[in-house]
Amino acid sequence: MTPVIPTDHIIEITYLIATVLFILSLKWMSSPSTARRGVFAAEAGMLLAVIGTLLHHGIVEYKWIAIALVIGSIIGVPLGEVAMTAVPQRTALSHAFGACCVTLVGTAEFYLRTPNVPRLMMGVLALEVILGSLTFTGSLMAAGKLQEILPQRPITYKGANIVNLSVLAMAVLVAGFLVAHPGNKALFPVIIGVPLLFGVLMIIPIGGADMPTVISLLNSYAGLSAAAMGFVLDSKLLIVAGALDGASGLILSINMSKAMNRSFTNVLFGAFGQEHTSAAGAQEARPVHSATAEEAAAILAAANKVVIVPGYGMAVAQAQHKVRELYDALSKRGVDVKFGIHPVAGRMPGHMNVLLAEADIPYDKLLDMDDVNSDFPQTDVALVIGANDVTNPAARTDASSPIFGMPILDVDKARTVMVIKRGMSPGFAGIDNPLYYLDNTLMLFGDAKAFVGAIVRELTGGHS
C-alpha cells in the first residue's frame, strides 16, 4: 500500500520547515531578549531535518549512523561545556569539525561518482574540498594558537606570501585539470593535501590580535564549503544553511577588518607586528604618572561617571569577576558605570561581552565603540583594564603609526584615564602608546585581577 503522501515529499517538507526555522533563529538573535527563542528554533529545525533524513528511502543500514550520532553527541557535550574563557578556541575547533565533515563527504562523493562527474559539478566539488581542507587545518592551527599549544606570536619568513600563493595556485591548477578530466582518481588527493598544507601556512604568520578577523574568515569559509556541498548533493537546505553561515562569517570579518582599519589581504598576508617591535624597543623611557590602589579608589569614588574599557588582558588575568565587584561597589555609591567595548577587544567577535555577561554584568551596561565614544568627554574616569592598542590615540593623530586610521575608544578625552597594566611593555602590535604619557593618565601597575581586587577592598573596606 502506498502512503497518502510520498516519503520524499515528507522529507522535503521537513527540510523546508527547517530552512524557515533557521532563518527565524538568526532573526531572533538580533536581541538578547529573543535570542534564546532563536536557539530553540534552530534546534527544532535541526531535529526535524535529521528525522526527515532518516526516512530517506536510500538508507539501507542504520547501524553506523546510530553509532556515529552517539559518538558525536558524546564528543559534543564536553565541547559545549567548556569554560567561557575557552570559547575562542572551541569556536575555532568547531570550524575545523564542520570543515572536516564537508571534506569527507565531498571526497566520498567524488569516488562514488567518478568518472561520470559533469564538469560544472566537478568544479563545485573541487571548491567544496579545497575550502573544506584549508579551513580544517587553518582552524586547527588557530585553535592551537588560542589554546597556546602553538606560539601566539606571528611567525614570518622572507617570501612567505609567495610560497603561500604558489601553494594555493597549485591547488587551483590541479582542480582545473580535474574539471577537464574528472576521471583522474589519482589526482584527487592533491586537491585535499595541498589545501591542507595551505591552511597551516595561512595561519602561521597570524598573531593573537588578528584572531577575531581570522576566526570570522574561517567561519565564512566553513559556511561556503557547506553551501558548495549543498550544490553537489542538490540539497537546498544545505545551500541555505551554508549561505547563512557564510554571510555571517563574512559580515563579522568585514566588521573586524574595519575595526582594525585593515583589508582582508592585509590580515592574511600582512603579519602585523613584526617590523615594528624593534622600533618600540628603542623608545627611550618617558615619565609617567602612577598611582596606588588607594589613590585610584579615591578618584573612582569621587566620580559621577566611569567607563571601564576591558581588553584581552582582562581575560588572561581572569579578572572579570573582580571587575563585577568593582562595578557593584561603585554602583552602590551612585556612580554611573558603563563598559566600552571595542569590536576587536579579545580574541573573537563579542568575546568581552560574553565574559562580562558571565560575571553577571547587565548587558545594557555594555556599550559598543560608536555608542560609548560620544560619552568620553563627559566621563570622569576611563578605566582601561588589559586593553592597549584599541585605546592608542596615535591611531587618530600620528600618520606614521602602523595603526593610524584604526577606530579607537577615545579614552584620552575622559577627565582622568587609569590604565591597569603589568609594566610598560608595548602592546601586542609592539607599538608604543602615547596615552600612557598624558598628564591626565594614571598608570596602575600590577596584575589586573589583583589590582581591581585591591581597589574594591579600598572602596568597600573603610567607607561602606
Q: Is 365 in the site for other proteins (CB under 8 A)?
A: yes
Kindly tell me which residue out of 89, 98, 262, 308 binds other proteins, with binding defined by CB under 8 A. Answer: 98
- In sequence order, what DSSP letters do the residues of 222-278 get, joined into one string? HHHHHHHHHHHHT-HHHHHHHHHHHHHHHHHHHHHHHHTT--HHHHHHH-SGGGGHH
Q: Which is nearer to other proteins, 219 or 433 (CB)?
A: 219
Q: Is 366 in the site for other proteins (CB under 8 A)?
A: yes
How many residues in the shown chain lie near other proteins by CB under 8 A? 114
Burial 214-229 (b: 16+ CB within 10 A, else e): bbbbbbbbbbbbbbbb
Provide the mask over 255-294, with x wherever binding to other proteins is found by CB under 8 A and - wherever it is not: x---------------------------------------
Q: Is 62 in the site for other proteins (CB under 8 A)?
A: yes
24, 33 contact by CB (below 8 A):
no
Strand 381-385 with 366-368, pairing: unpaired
Candidates 40-48, 190-198, 267-275, 448-456; binding stretch for other proteins (CB under 8 A) = 40-48
User: Is residue 440 within a helix (H) or strand (E), and if so which, with residue range?
Assistant: none
Helices (H), 392-437: 394-397
CA distances (Å), origin 150, targets 40, 111, 140, 186, 394: 36, 35, 10, 34, 31
Q: Which is nearer to other proteins, 252 or 394 (CB)?
A: 252
Residue 378 per-residue DSSP state: G
Q: Which is nearer to other proteins, 331 or 378 (CB)?
A: 331
Q: Is 59 in the site for other proteins (CB under 8 A)?
A: yes
Q: Is 385 in the site for other proteins (CB under 8 A)?
A: no
Q: Is 227 in the site for other proteins (CB under 8 A)?
A: yes
| Cα Rg of the chain (Å, integer) | 26
Kindly tell me which residue out of 156, 161, 184, 248 binds other proteins, with binding defined by CB under 8 A. Answer: 248
User: Least distance in Å: CB of 450 to other proteins?
Assistant: 25
User: Least distance in Å: CB of 380 to other proteins?
Assistant: 20
User: Least distance in Å: CB of 92 to other proteins?
Assistant: 10
User: Least distance in Å: CB of 33 to other proteins?
Assistant: 8
Q: Is 308 in the site for other proteins (CB under 8 A)?
A: no
Catalytic residues: 389
Residue closest to 55 by CA, chosen among 1, 114, 15 = 15
Q: Is 13 in the site for other proteins (CB under 8 A)?
A: no
Q: Is 55 in the site for other proteins (CB under 8 A)?
A: no
Residues 159-218, interacting with other proteins (CB under 8 A): 215-216
Kindly tell me which residue out of 10, 17, 97, 328 binds other proteins, with binding defined by CB under 8 A. Answer: 97
Give 240-245 contacts, CB < 8 A, sequence gap 24+.
240/19, 240/22, 240/23, 241/19, 241/22, 244/22, 244/23, 244/26, 245/219, 245/220
199, 147 contact by CB (below 8 A):
no
Kindly tell me which residue out of 6, 151, 189, 362 binds other proteins, with binding defined by CB under 8 A. Answer: 362
Q: Which is nearer to other proteins, 252 or 448 (CB)?
A: 252
User: Least distance in Å: CB of 141 to other proteins?
Assistant: 17
In this structure, which amino acid lies at residue 117? V
Residues 325-354, interacting with other proteins (CB under 8 A): 341, 343, 348-351, 353-354
Distance in angstroms (rounded) separating the CA atoms of residues 225 and 451: 46
Residues 228-247, interacting with other proteins (CB under 8 A): 229-231, 233-247
Candidates 173-181, 190-198, 226-234, 268-276; binding stretch for other proteins (CB under 8 A) = 226-234
Total residue count of the chain as it appears in this document? 464
- Region of residue 346 (left: phi > 0; alpha: psi -120 to 50; beta: else): left
User: Least distance in Å: CB of 378 to other proteins?
Assistant: 20
Q: Is 154 in the site for other proteins (CB under 8 A)?
A: no
Residue closest to 322 by CA, chosen among 414, 382, 385, 380 = 385
